[in-house]
Chain A
Amino acid sequence: MNEALTTVREQSMTTLILRRFFKHRLAGIAVGVLAVLVLASLLAGLSPYNPTDQEPTNHFEEPNSVHWFGTDELGRDVFSRILYGGRVSLAVGLISTFLSIFLGVVVGALSGYFGGLLDATLMRITDAFLTFPTIFVLILLGAFLREQQLFILQNSIFVVIIIIAALSWMWPARLVRGLFLVLREKEFVAASRALGGSNTRLIVRHILPNCVGPILVSGTLQMASAIITESGLSYLGFGVQPPTPTWGSILSTAQSQIFRAPWLGFFPGFMIFITVMAINYIGDGLRDAFDPYVIHTEK
């Protein structure tokens, strides 16, 4: 084999992307931060305090060496509550994002690939959903669904996941539709069709893999906004219901105690902020990593 050619290392697409991703220093740090947050909430059980145990004798303790983030109006350890709350907030963010991306990809792919009447219908529906004043409908749906008799709807976490996904699939749908409109005209698609590839094969095996980058990037945006939405809903009292702690509901109790303990609202909000910030930076890194026009010089 030619000498010059052997010096070029073989790389799979994944390793290439990953290498480019970690060149974005802040994105690398963000992955670390998010990993710590996820680990901390997974290991929440190691905390010596139960998030719902009340110690009325020492309520409103300021942050100290025993209760790191202090205690709330019922004497519950805020640090434990935040760890457990992180479980819910992160899980809701992740699962609702998966659902909404899945739904969005299905709608966008069908719409962009087949075009015509199907496209027109699906896009009108998408437009209608886009004009919904999201948070209002979320509150309405949340209040409404929880009053239904169905036992699964008694679980407020499940309800929140469903309604967030139901009102956020439009963005990936539009994105994927746009990508499909461009990609379906490409030569490699025509070639596969000429070889007898079925529509399913063309969509799933040929076009979709080329959409992975943009979908991942928009997935990070979705997850950040899902976490903000969940916390916001719980903050307003229409999301995950007590006693299950989430960052939003902890913030909500903090507001009612704003004169007694003004610092109480700091930690839950800060956790939301840090998580969203980390996810945004990861999105930024992914965008650069997938963008062939960003020049990365080997160092």
Chain B
Amino acid sequence: MSTYALRRVLQTIPIVFIISILLFLMVRAAPGGPLTAARRNPNISKEQLEAIEERLGLNDPLMVQYGRWMGNMLRGEMGESIKFRRPVSEMIGERIPNTLILVGASFFVTLLFAVPIGILSARKPYSLFDYSMTTITFIGQAIPVYWLGLGLIVIFYVTLKNPFTGDPLFPVGGMNSRGQEGNLLDTLWHLVLPVSALSLGWIAWYSRFLRSSMLDVLHEDYVRTARAKGLGERLVYYRHALRNAILPLVTLIALDLPSLFAGALFVETIFSWPGMGRLFWDAAKGRDYPVLLGVVMITAVLIIVCNIIADLAYGWLDPQVKYE
């Protein structure tokens, strides 16, 4: 198991390598490079500019520059924000927990709904419940997350008011109300709308997937065996069928992670959630390249790590997978 985990980690090296090369080429090609500000400054002469270039090593061969950049990246040095004059790693570090709270909560809610819906649909396929869920999930999959977020704001913030106080029904914007920083209940309260917006599409998609995966599994011999030896329906479904039906879901979730972070970017932007997505959006408006590259690199690494976890979870769930 541990050797497998190690090998799995080693396998990601070429992937990180390719991603980093692509990103590096983009930094190099970015207009003006790191000297944009200096070039615009009329007080800096051409000679001084060349001296700075020499000092920053911009005249070295590309390979050397790449090596240095990658070395910095590996040490967690991602440069300094052009706009805020702060280390990028620090800025991202502040935002990561907020994004993970949002994504984690949405993921939890997604599974909380998707798994029961998928199982119930598969237990009674073509029933009224199944048909209504099919329709709802088709709708849920087609609603763009940004439209849903906007709609939730219009309904629960702009239109509906608390009948007693006249305040909006749900808060929008930020993680906490003023003066409530660090109050967990208040954060949960602020999570309601963003999580709803982020989860609906995923609930639709995973419940559909689990339904068809369950239906496939229910035709297998071992399910018939389980029934034949007199096990109750609950045991057949939850012990025998579900465990196998959920396997492909694990792979799927791992593949979907980039999209989950993409959804988080929209939700953070719409609801002013102070996560990495929001940071990225603000940085993109100001062309703050060091921040942009840092966020892309960090998200890519997060996704790779989650992929590895999913692979290991797959092995834990499926005893047929052997690690040599």
Contact = CB atoms under 8 A, between A and B. Distances in A.
For the complex, would chain A's binding face be called helix, strand, loop or mixed by DSSP majority?
helix
A226 to B, nearest CB: 12
B138 A280 contact: yes
Contact of B296 (A127, A137, A235, A266): A137
A138 to B, nearest CB: 9
B16 to A, nearest CB: 8
B287 A143 contact: yes
Nearest to B158: A262
Interface bracket on A: 35 or more
A251 B150 contact: yes
Interface stretch (A48-56, A103-111, A199-207, A253-261): A253-261
A147 B31 contact: yes
Contacts, number: 121
Given A144-B26, A236-B269, A254-B150, A273 B138 contact: no
A272 B18 contact: no
Contacts of A147: 30-31, 287
Contacts of B112: none
B206 interface: no
Given A128-B19, A139-B280, A269 B258 contact: no
B230 interface: no
Interface stretch (B66-74, B123-131, B300-308): B300-308
Nearest to A235: B146
B189 interface: no
A133 B281 contact: no
B141 interface: yes
Nearest to A137: B296
A69 to B, nearest CB: 15
A131 B258 contact: yes
Interface string A255-284: 100110010011001101100110011000
Interface string B145-180: 111001101100011000000000000000000000
For the complex of A and B, list the 10 residue pairs with the smallest distance between their C-beta atoms, beginning with the closest: A269-B147, A135-B262, A128-B18, A133-B299, A277-B142, A276-B142, A262-B154, A128-B15, A147-B31, A265-B150
Interface of A: 124-125, 127-128, 130-137, 139-141, 143-144, 147-148, 224, 228, 231-232, 235-238, 251, 254-255, 258-259, 262, 265-266, 269-270, 272-273, 276-277, 280-281
25 contacts: A124-B18, A128-B15, A132-B19, A133-B296, A134-B258, A136-B262, A136-B265, A136-B280, A139-B280, A140-B296, A143-B292, A144-B29, A144-B30, A147-B287, A148-B31, A232-B144, A232-B266, A254-B150, A258-B153, A259-B158, A262-B158, A266-B151, A270-B147, A277-B142, A280-B138
